[in-house]
Structure 1
Amino acid sequence: MRVVSGVRSRLETSIGRAGIALPWWVPVGVSAFGAVLAVAAVAQRGALVPPAPIALGGLLAVVTALGWAVTGRIAPPWLKALTVVAAVAILLSDPVVPDFAPVMLVVLTAETAAIARPVVALSVAAASVATLSVASARVGLVGFPVYVAAVLLGLAGGVMMRWYVRALGAERAARDSARDQAVLAERQRIAREVHDVVAHSLSITLLHLTGTRHALKQDRDIEEALEGLEEAERVGRAAMADIRRTVGLLAEAPAGTRPLPDARDIGALVERTRAAGLAVHYERHGDPAGVPDLAGLGLYRIAQESLANVAKHGAGAPARMRLAIGAGEARLTVRNRLPAGALPTAAGGSGLTGMAARAGQLGAEFSAGPEGTDWVVAVSVPAGAAS
């Protein structure tokens, strides 16, 4: 079994080196068939034993195949065509009925058309027809029209095979490209998930730690400080669970059974943010259960990233969040007052890019920018998005 595998590997290597985009068994089968035809044509003429001149024609017909077997290198198409046409010309100096020699030209033309450039294939077909014409004129080759038609049919079949192989290669390349793009898109989506979870959890944790520091430094309130530390620990553990669950999407099996958040969890997100010390006014209109899961996850992550940006860039200013769910769309709006002197891009960075990418995947309308003295993030998701 190992020997067979080694032989096949060497054949595939030599075929690939020759630039032949066909399965290994096709060139091997064609070469073997050509050798059989050569032996049969020589045998028809009773010249298997040298030094009959006809035997030289048989040797020329198989010399390139023998060279492949000995050296492991496939002869160029033009060289094989030259030797086979010469061999058939020698064999047709002594025609027989029926004759296998002209069939060698049919196989040669089809093979050349399948693996060589069109100009080479046309040249081989023309040389084959010319050889048959000379044999018909000088020695009265029987069946000349049939042989010529067979050569032309071989040419057409080889060209069709060549174009089929090229189309198949293009299809495979397109499929590989689409797969690579899908993998890249999934990796980017997971990266955004991890970014949103980490950014939000760190922002909330820092708010708790800031409150703890104030409690210890100014109020000397140990109990309040401990509560802040416990809440920071809880947020950190929840973030780790979210990260493990998100990264688990890379594996074949899920990392846990806890579902991903959706629009119904935005209220709990606001409550956790409030508990960390950030003032958030939240309004909800409509039933979030009617929002599809993937669209709900996108709204949740956008809300999460928006609150993280408020915590980082809002200088403690209160935020207002509104979720309106109607028959046609679900619209989330988050606004907070810009600190005095802040640039309009104060809330920029990879977070905005991630939010825009999420909205684009859902076919949603997304905007983020200043409106007067406020920074406003707004996203409208169609009711049937990702359902």
Structure 2
Amino acid sequence: MWETAKDRLRGRLADGLARSGLTLPWWVPLGTTAFTVSGLVVAVGQRVGPALPAAIAGFLLATSSTLLWVCTGRLAPSWLKALGMLAGIGLLLAYPVVPDFAPMPLAVLTGELGSIASARVAFAATGGAAAVLGAAALTVGLVGFPVYLLAVLVGLAAGFMLRWYVRALDAERGKQEAVREQARLGERQRIAREVHDVVAHSLSITLLHVTGARHGLRTDRDVDEAVAALTEAERIGRAAMADIRRTVGLLAQESSGTRPLPGAGDIADLVAETCAAGLVADYELEGDVAAVGATVGLGLYRIAQESLANVVKHARGEKALVRLEIGSADARLTVRNGHNGAARNEGGSGLAGMTARADQLAARLSAGPEGGEWVVDVTVPLARGAAS
């Protein structure tokens, strides 16, 4: 029951702060109110006797903003709270005692207004507090006027410091949210590129097998060849679905599978899979693929995959050459085919995806016609890949 009541109080305070446009934690108004009410209760207790009715009236005036919140759940405007507090404390100070706790809530008031109200209201309330204290010192002989005045000024300074801290905290939160949003956008773009590469390549190879099956049935009536082609298309389709699930699973907190992402060592299988679908392609490797890190390897694999997918779509009858050269400082991947017509599609999302991957790896990428061929050439520094 206690936890329920505490949660209800916390929610009500947070709601009141939100409606008032204040970004302070819920416990700040709770703490200041508790301290103020405690001081006023002690001040009323010090005036037991003939001054008690006036002290109770002063207490009610000083706590009018708190009573408003208890009854309606709304926080009183700063200026109204300041007027009620000054009037209530002034009435209490008309019957001074030694030592007197009545002036202490004024220090809390100036601190609170310094942190949440406009500077004009905060300075006006501080001036009003000084005037109330000065009038009490001159008329009824309030003892300790300099100490009380210093406490009010210290409260104002503490309020302005808290205001600066809250503003700095809000600015930092806004900056962190912008960084998180940028990271989320980058992650979505990265996953979109992964899905695009997987789907584009797999669909291209699957269509080659389906085309081969149709050709076999129409011209040769070779059912076995058609079944083999369709079986291979089914296998590639299932593998593509598994890749898509694994890639999309990166959005979740936990991994969706244990199969590793492809790397530089899988480019040979990629070329072989493309050749099995009917494309004529050669693969040349120079160097040790073990020297290529996982990040660089995945980027090279996806660039090779996208390049071969473009060859399948736009230069199916031409021979392709995939060459991977791995040196001590960098790795160079070259994909070339003898048909410049592929250039008309390289300006789409495929080239944009390859360019984005190259930028992530600090690689040099070129794609365009060269000597009657279409050439994709990318060079990746291995030191950066290993660090990644």
TM-score clears 0.5:
yes
Tell me, in whole angstroms, the C-alpha distance in 2 between the residues paired with 1:231 and 1:61.
84
Tell me, in whole angstroms, the C-alpha distance in 2 between the residues paired with 1:183 and 1:47.
68
- Contact residue 342 and residue 374 of structure 2 kept, 8 A: no
- Contact residue 14 and residue 73 of structure 1 kept, 8 A: yes
- Stretch moving more, 150-159 or 346-355: 346-355
Note the C-alpha offset of 1:3: 4.1
Give runs of ≥4 in structure 1 deviating > 4 Å.
47-50
Which aligned pairs between 1:108-127 and structure 2 lie closer than 5 A? 108-127=109-128
Which residue number corresponds to residue 40 of structure 1?
A: 42
Which aligned pairs between 1:165-184 and structure 2 lie closer than 5 A? 165-184=166-185
Note the C-alpha offset of 1:89: 2.0
Which residue number corresponds to residue 362 of structure 2?
A: 363
- Stretch moving more, 265-274 or 117-126: 117-126
Which residue number corresponds to residue 302 of structure 2?
A: 301
- Stretch moving more, 146-155 or 14-23: 14-23
After superposition, what is the alpha-carbon deviation per residue over 1:267-319, rounded to whole angstroms, capped at 9, x for unaligned?
A: 11111111111111322211111100111011001100110011112242222
2:336 is paired with a residue whose SS is strand
Which residue number corresponds to residue 25 of structure 1?
A: 27
- Contact residue 44 and residue 59 of structure 2 kept, 8 A: yes
1:101 is paired with a residue whose SS is coil
Which aligned pairs between 1:216-295 and structure 2 lie closer than 5 A? 216-295=217-296
Which residue number corresponds to residue 6 of structure 1?
A: 8
* CA 226–39 in structure 1, closer or farther in 2 if over 3 Å, else same: closer
Which aligned pairs between 1:145-160 and structure 2 lie closer than 5 A? 145-160=146-161
Tell me, in whole angstroms, the C-alpha distance in 2 between the residues paired with 1:5 and 1:141.
42
- Contact residue 313 and residue 347 of structure 1 kept, 8 A: no
Which residue number corresponds to residue 213 of structure 2?
A: 212
Tell me, in whole angstroms, the C-alpha distance in 2 between the residues paired with 1:273 and 1:48.
102
* CA 206–95 in structure 1, closer or farther in 2 if over 3 Å, else same: same
* CA 290–25 in structure 1, closer or farther in 2 if over 3 Å, else same: same
Which residue number corresponds to residue 88 of structure 1?
A: 89
- The aligned length equals 384
RMSD: 2.1
- Stretch moving more, 172-181 or 196-205: 172-181
- Stretch moving more, 1-10 or 181-190: 1-10
Which aligned pairs between 1:64-79 and structure 2 lie closer than 5 A? 64-79=65-80
Tell me, in whole angstroms, the C-alpha distance in 2 between the residues paired with 1:115 and 1:210.
72
Note the C-alpha offset of 1:49: 7.2
Which aligned pairs between 1:41-56 and structure 2 lie closer than 5 A? 41-46=43-48, 52-56=53-57
Tell me, in whole angstroms, the C-alpha distance in 2 between the residues paired with 1:9 and 1:365.
55
After superposition, what is the alpha-carbon deviation per residue over 1:30-74, rounded to whole angstroms, capped at 9, x for unaligned?
A: 122212222222322335876x43432222111111111111111
1:380 is paired with a residue whose SS is strand
AA partner of residue 210 (structure 1): T
Tell me, in whole angstroms, the C-alpha distance in 2 between the residues paired with 1:253 and 1:53.
67
After superposition, what is the alpha-carbon deviation per residue over 1:145-169, rounded to whole angstroms, capped at 9, x for unaligned?
A: 2112111111111111122222222
1:258 is paired with a residue whose SS is coil
Tell me, in whole angstroms, the C-alpha distance in 1 between the residues paired with 2:209 and 2:132.
93
After superposition, what is the alpha-carbon deviation per residue over 1:164-190, rounded to whole angstroms, capped at 9, x for unaligned?
A: 222222222322332232233222222
Q: TM-score, normalised by structure 2?
A: 0.92
Matching of residue 199 in structure 1 with residue 200 in structure 2: yes
* CA 238–53 in structure 1, closer or farther in 2 if over 3 Å, else same: closer
- Contact residue 90 and residue 132 of structure 2 kept, 8 A: yes
Identity level (%): 58
Tell me, in whole angstroms, the C-alpha distance in 1 between the residues paired with 2:50 and 2:176.
52
Tell me, in whole angstroms, the C-alpha distance in 2 between the residues paired with 1:274 and 1:35.
84
AA partner of residue 21 (structure 1): T
* CA 47–266 in structure 1, closer or farther in 2 if over 3 Å, else same: farther
* CA 255–290 in structure 1, closer or farther in 2 if over 3 Å, else same: same
After superposition, what is the alpha-carbon deviation per residue over 1:225-281, rounded to whole angstroms, capped at 9, x for unaligned?
A: 333223222222222222222222233332322211100010111111111111113
Tell me, in whole angstroms, the C-alpha distance in 1 between the residues paired with 2:283 and 2:347.
23
Structure 2 gaps of 5+ residues are none
Structure 1 gaps of 5+ residues are none
Tell me, in whole angstroms, the C-alpha distance in 2 between the residues paired with 1:119 and 1:313.
72
Tell me, in whole angstroms, the C-alpha distance in 2 between the residues paired with 1:131 and 1:19.
30
AA partner of residue 346 (structure 1): N
Q: TM-score, normalised by structure 1?
A: 0.92
* CA 70–276 in structure 1, closer or farther in 2 if over 3 Å, else same: same
Note the C-alpha offset of 1:108: 0.6
Which residue number corresponds to residue 350 of structure 1?
A: 349
